[in-house]
Structure 1
Amino acid sequence: MANYFDDNEDLQFYMDRGLDWAPIVGLVEQDFRIPGGYTSLEEARAAYRDILGMVGEFAAEQVAPRSMAIDAKGVHLKDGEGHLAPETDALFEQIKGLDLHGLALPRELGGIGCPAVVHFMVCELLARADNVVMTHYNFYSGIALMLLLYSVHEGTTTFDREQRVITGTRFQPEIAEILRGDAWGSMDITEPDAGSDMAALKARAEQDEQGNWYITGQKIFLTSGHGKHHIVIARTEPDKPGLGGLSLFHVPAYEDMPDGTRRRIAVIDRLEEKLGHHGSATAAVSFDRAPGRLIGKRGEGFQLMLLLMNNARVGVGFESIGACEAAYRKAKAYAAERRSMGKTIDRHEMIADFLDEMQTEILGLRALAMQCAYHEELHQRTKMQGLLDTDPDSLERARVLKQAKRHANRARRLTPLLKYIASEKAVEMSRKCIQILGGAGYIREYGAEKLLRDAMVLPIYEGTSQIQALMAMKDAMSGIMRNPQRFLTRVAQARWRSLSALDALERRVARLTSLTLAAQQHLIQRTAADKLRGLGKHKITEWSKEFFQNWDPKRDFSYAMLHAERLTRLMADTAIVEILLEQSRKHPERRSILERWLERAEPRCNALYEEITTRGDRLLAQLRDQQEDEAASGR
């Protein structure tokens, strides 16, 4: 029988030896002190492996064969409710029977109690079979997990320190409903006139004299938005523009009545017709004084939504790798059978190069994804442990939260790189899959064109590629400005390793690191030089304040913003080779993967560096002229 876990040696590598499971399992299992829990690291990992094997078979034998039917039948709106294809409903009945909705939730809340890393690996397996099924699945378990994390954050989850178990949490009924498979949820952010610019959101939340909250407004592009549990961001402070006036709410979209009817609280305006993801319900939903419950504190909406979106972006990284794997496997299988000019086309040089590149990039992307998921999980679980298991003002809580912050910083650096590069590669590989299949790739019957249609949304949802690039650039530039001495030390260390390291591969990795740091240095120096040139518009007595305080990111970082995607590609390549180098030190068999990645990364990184350091002045001057013309004309 086909099995998407058993046929993937790289996924098995991470399950068996590629990750240090001990810290994560120790946190999940409370150092093996939970009554009825696993008694050892080996027992826990064996169970996780069995789960991945089960899901791998389910994905290959049950999900993949239904993928084309799900795409063909799509979704529809009837009597105000969104309906999925019968094949999708049947699959989710099976998923309900497998108890997969509670995979990463604690046992005491009805979950299986696996690490989130295992959940993300499950997401890759399902995405390889069908992107739509994986996406909808994530809006069950993902929403349940976020409701728990939000409750821990606001202090409404209780914990028994002796038994090492959660004894209650604010959203326990909602979590239980989701884990049973009876409901799911959605993230409600985008509005008709506000997408990536969250400061422009207009949906509002108002509080009555009794303290009850009511939400009014429309949200669009809601994946699985026909579900019940909506996490909605809305403006609570009308006199406070920008992100600081936003708060987060849990809003149930409907109520099921005792007589079997349903009372709609939020109205589904429409289900979008899309290029791909035909089997996924993408909804526009309107709220008209819909009752909601405030999550956290007023004004925390943006920070809390970022917490949700960071996890979602890691999920999209694994989803993208599943899409890449599907494209590679389909192209490889076809090329091994299709004969041309006396041999199968996988023996033709250009096609062989395509396949080698796809395989190499999947291995590198997965290395980045695993590292990202690992640190994000350690961040979340260490923080949760600190908040639940220590006294509020204790030194121990401060120590634990500081440890969580270190993992958060690592995850924050890697997450936009993963989301950017994995989603872009999913589109690129799906396109190559079509090209390798030739005319067959263009025909629906073979399924390659569906891979491309479904992949096209990956660089768009959960924050576009351009938003990820701006985030990565901003963090890099801010880090330099906060601690220039540390940055210069990194530059010197990388240069020294590029010359003195005994290992030739380490020298090559260090050269890529040096190149990326040099690109960052160029951007910060160019930014500072542009700022200095602009001081001539101000009195000399204002120069110090203008240079050190009055920075306008939209104006002063224009050169860096122009090159943000190029810098992100550089940083992604560098992050991947650094991770692969660390792997190769522990597992020598991984050296060949590092060699293959460097072979392709070195020339493209040199080209990216040249573009960053030589291009942009003409376009920026053109944009400045346009802006000045608009200002002069009063537009």
Structure 2
Amino acid sequence: MPYLYRAPLREMRFVIERVLHAPALWAQCEAWVDLDMGTVGAVLEEAARFASEVLQPINAAGDAQGCRLQDGSVRTPDAFPAAYKAFVEGGWPALPCSPDWGGQGLPMLVDAAVREMLSACNHGWNMYPDLLHGAYETLKAHGTDELKSRYLEDVATGRTLAAMALTEPQAGSDLGVLTTKAQPQPDGTLRVSGSKIFISGADHDLTEQIVHFVLCRLPDASPGTKGITLVIVPKWLPDGRRNTWAVTGIEHKMGIHGSATCAVSYDGATSWIVGQPHCGLAAMFLMMNSARLHVGLQGLGHQQMATQNALRHAAERVQMKQPIQRHPAMRQLLLRLQVLTQAQRVLAYRAALAIDVAAAHPDAGEREAAQKIAGLLTPLVKAWLTQQGFAAASDALQVFGGYGYTREYGVEQTLRDSRIAMVYEGTNEIQAIDLLQRKVLADGGAALALLLAELEAEATRCAEVPALQDYADALRGQIAQSRSATAAVQAQAASDAEAALRVADDYLMGTAHLLLAWALAASARAALDEPDRAWAHTKTEQLRHGLQALLPDAAPHWLRVHAVARPLPQVSPAT
């Protein structure tokens, strides 16, 4: 049975238009005042065509062929360059970028839906353009006029691709110990020397020019992260010379074989500072935060791909005289896949909408509040959606049985490809620490209070509809759990520096279930106004199953957060 993709366009439109009411918010922003769902729908339909007809057919072949280093240059799978050329000609890289720099100026929410489709169909290929928007935002915000004039439009339109060079063998999550050096020159440039590893798309044959955003240290840098500077290192210099960096190897990975993950040596490579000296992390975070949203969307894409193919197989595979989708064990598993995929789409799109409001709303108070909400949701989207992306692929493989363990049926590639998203762009454990320490405790819970007020309002709206009272009760129960758990961590953290670190993972998962309760409630209420009553009935039944069968999974996470006072024992030595 072929492994195919059909974009969930109806679900996407339902979330954008009926659950989040995005068009009403866009109408308040000058940049999107004329944007309507007709236009958005047309964009999504064309993106679905590109993803399913151009990217998905070359996914398995790209995985089998992989990348290769030939005469010092990286060659991607044979079909990748033509697909990327079509991507650029279609204007897809420029979708959310400003028209001032060759972009189309559409909201990030629309771009998020597109990226979900691209990741579902070909994660390895999508790794190349997936960093483009973060590179564009970083260069636009922190680049000099000269750098913007030289590179920004080409980055916005995808004619130039970008790579992010952070990691070194001794400096993964701990960027404070990186050692790559940058030596200032009389002409205002810098010469970068050092080695980086795990650089996605450091070199390839999709575009001629590639720009690396490299974290390094100036000679007068202080120790730790406060001494890090961000520089841009192009492959080709303005005078046409090849810059002095080289790919020293391509990693042989578990998955995303079509993505070139490179080790690079910089040998006095010419570069220019992006932002201020010693303030590189602040500039780089624009790129990293964009990447984290996109990584979460990779997890969502994998869920969608695995779920729809598992559903198709379960409908066709007959065992014990009936399709396996009728067996309770399989039905339970398939419902879990469907409900979590639908709910996590609501969360991911809500994060993208918050970014839109923070960037373009005319009211400063609305922008500030949206920025705080986006900050809270970003680590949740990255961690929860990627964790479920891998779990969904594993569950879907279970539906296929032994066939799923073979390459012929496709789901094993989804399983392999999805695993990396839990690791890169900040491991999921780091996302949990970021959520609890930096986004909740650091401001005394002010940002969380904004989010909880929004969720309380949804609970109130549901409580006004008798058929939705159970959703209101469940959501209010999770809100109460969140407040109680947060207070417990705040109290313990005042005298115990490790307290938040001990419970961060469970706190993130508890908060994820809080947002699951919200997504279920908001979706159920939106379904009341859906004209297609048969479609709405099916959705409502699935949502209620999620309420009854999935939401109870929150309990052990909140319980462990309340056990915050218990110190962790030491790990025993390896034997």
TM over 0.5: yes
Counterpart in 2 of 1:81?
A: 73
* RMSD between superposed Cα atoms in Å: 3.1
Shift of 1:79: 1.3
In the alignment, does 2:28 pair up with 1:41?
no
Deviations 1:145-195 (A, max 9, x none): 4422434xx7x4xxxxxxxxxxxx842332333456543111111111101
- Between stretches 517-526 and 280-289, larger displacement belongs to 517-526
Per the alignment, in what secondary structure is the counterpart of residue 188 of structure 2? coil
In 2, Cα distance between equivalents of 1:411 and 1:98: 29
Question: Residues 56 and 202 of structure 1: is their aligned pair in 2 closer, same or farther, counting only changes over 3 Å?
Answer: same
In the alignment, does 2:185 pair up with 1:191?
no
In the alignment, does 2:426 pair up with 1:463?
yes
Counterpart in 2 of 1:599?
A: 548
Counterpart in 1 of 2:507?
A: 567
Identity %: 25
Counterpart in 2 of 1:236?
A: 218
Shift of 1:341: 1.0
Pick from 80, 101, 107: which aligns with 1:109? 101
Counting only pairs closer than 5 Å after superposition, residues 50-449 of structure 1 correspond to structure 2 as 50-151=42-143, 156=145, 170-178=147-155, 181-226=158-203, 228-236=210-218, 238-255=220-237, 263-381=242-360, 400=364, 403-449=366-412
In 2, Cα distance between equivalents of 1:380 and 1:601: 34
* Letter aligned with residue 553 of structure 2: R
Deviations 1:55-91 (A, max 9, x none): 1012112211211101011000111111101111121
In 2, Cα distance between equivalents of 1:485 and 1:410: 8
Shift of 1:112: 2.4
Deviating 4+ runs (over 6 angstroms):
482-487
Deviations 1:95-115 (A, max 9, x none): 122121212222342222222
CA contact (8 A) 1:109 1:172 kept: no
- Give the aligned length: 548
In 1, Cα distance between equivalents of 2:268 and 2:4: 48
In 1, Cα distance between equivalents of 2:445 and 2:398: 47
- Between stretches 224-233 and 588-597, larger displacement belongs to 588-597
CA contact (8 A) 1:324 1:429 kept: yes
Question: Residues 109 and 602 of structure 1: is their aligned pair in 2 closer, same or farther, counting only changes over 3 Å?
Answer: closer
Per the alignment, in what secondary structure is the counterpart of residue 13 of structure 2? helix
Counterpart in 1 of 2:570?
A: 622
TM-score normalised by structure 1 residue count: 0.79
In 2, Cα distance between equivalents of 1:381 and 1:359: 33
Counterpart in 2 of 1:577?
A: 517
Counterpart in 2 of 1:525?
A: 491
In 2, Cα distance between equivalents of 1:403 and 1:48: 24
Pick from 10, 22, 46: which aligns with 1:20? 22
Question: Residues 257 and 336 of structure 1: is their aligned pair in 2 closer, same or farther, counting only changes over 3 Å?
Answer: farther
Deviations 1:294-337 (A, max 9, x none): 11212221111111111111111111111100110111111111
CA contact (8 A) 2:234 2:243 kept: no
Shift of 1:250: 1.4
In 2, Cα distance between equivalents of 1:476 and 1:110: 34
CA contact (8 A) 1:205 1:214 kept: yes
Counterpart in 1 of 2:533?
A: none
Shift of 1:5: 6.6
CA contact (8 A) 1:246 1:301 kept: yes
* Letter aligned with residue 620 of structure 1: L
* Letter aligned with residue 576 of structure 1: L
* Letter aligned with residue 211 of structure 2: H
Deviations 1:3-39 (A, max 9, x none): 96764421121344333234446546375xxxxxxxx
CA contact (8 A) 2:303 2:393 kept: yes
Per the alignment, in what secondary structure is the counterpart of residue 41 of structure 1? coil
In 2, Cα distance between equivalents of 1:179 and 1:225: 18
Per the alignment, in what secondary structure is the counterpart of residue 286 of structure 1? strand
Shift of 1:358: 0.3
In 1, Cα distance between equivalents of 2:104 and 2:126: 19
Deviations 1:359-392 (A, max 9, x none): 000011111101111112222345xx8xxxxxxx
Deviations 1:572-624 (A, max 9, x none): 1112323443454555357656533322343211122233334884x62436x
Question: Residues 8 and 41 of structure 1: is their aligned pair in 2 closer, same or farther, counting only changes over 3 Å?
Answer: closer
Deviations 1:485-512 (A, max 9, x none): 979x98xx89x98xx9883321221111
CA contact (8 A) 1:254 1:266 kept: no
Deviations 1:106-159 (A, max 9, x none): 2342222222221111111111111112222323454334422434xx7x4xxx
- Between stretches 598-607 and 313-322, larger displacement belongs to 598-607
In 1, Cα distance between equivalents of 2:448 and 2:98: 44
In 1, Cα distance between equivalents of 2:6 and 2:358: 27
Per the alignment, in what secondary structure is the counterpart of residue 314 of structure 2? helix
* Letter aligned with residue 283 of structure 1: C
- Between stretches 415-424 and 238-247, larger displacement belongs to 238-247
In 1, Cα distance between equivalents of 2:252 and 2:520: 41
CA contact (8 A) 2:195 2:266 kept: yes
* Letter aligned with residue 222 of structure 1: I
Counterpart in 2 of 1:514?
A: 480
In 2, Cα distance between equivalents of 1:486 and 1:109: 37
* Letter aligned with residue 221 of structure 1: F
CA contact (8 A) 1:470 1:561 kept: yes
Shift of 1:484: 13
> Runs of 5+ in structure 2 lacking a partner?
205-209, 529-535
CA contact (8 A) 1:248 1:295 kept: yes
Bigger RCO of structures 1 and 2 (CA < 8 A, at least 6 apart) = 2
Question: Residues 233 and 52 of structure 1: is their aligned pair in 2 closer, same or farther, counting only changes over 3 Å?
Answer: same
In 2, Cα distance between equivalents of 1:522 and 1:257: 60
Question: Residues 257 and 577 of structure 1: is their aligned pair in 2 closer, same or farther, counting only changes over 3 Å?
Answer: same
TM-score normalised by structure 2 residue count: 0.87
In 2, Cα distance between equivalents of 1:28 and 1:110: 18
> Runs of 5+ in structure 1 lacking a partner?
32-39, 157-168, 386-398, 532-555, 627-635
Counterpart in 1 of 2:31?
A: 29
CA contact (8 A) 2:376 2:448 kept: no
CA contact (8 A) 1:417 1:472 kept: yes
In 2, Cα distance between equivalents of 1:484 and 1:406: 8
Deviations 1:217-257 (A, max 9, x none): 11111111116111112123645112211121111023498
In 2, Cα distance between equivalents of 1:373 and 1:601: 25
Counterpart in 1 of 2:532?
A: none
In 1, Cα distance between equivalents of 2:447 and 2:30: 38
In 2, Cα distance between equivalents of 1:520 and 1:239: 37
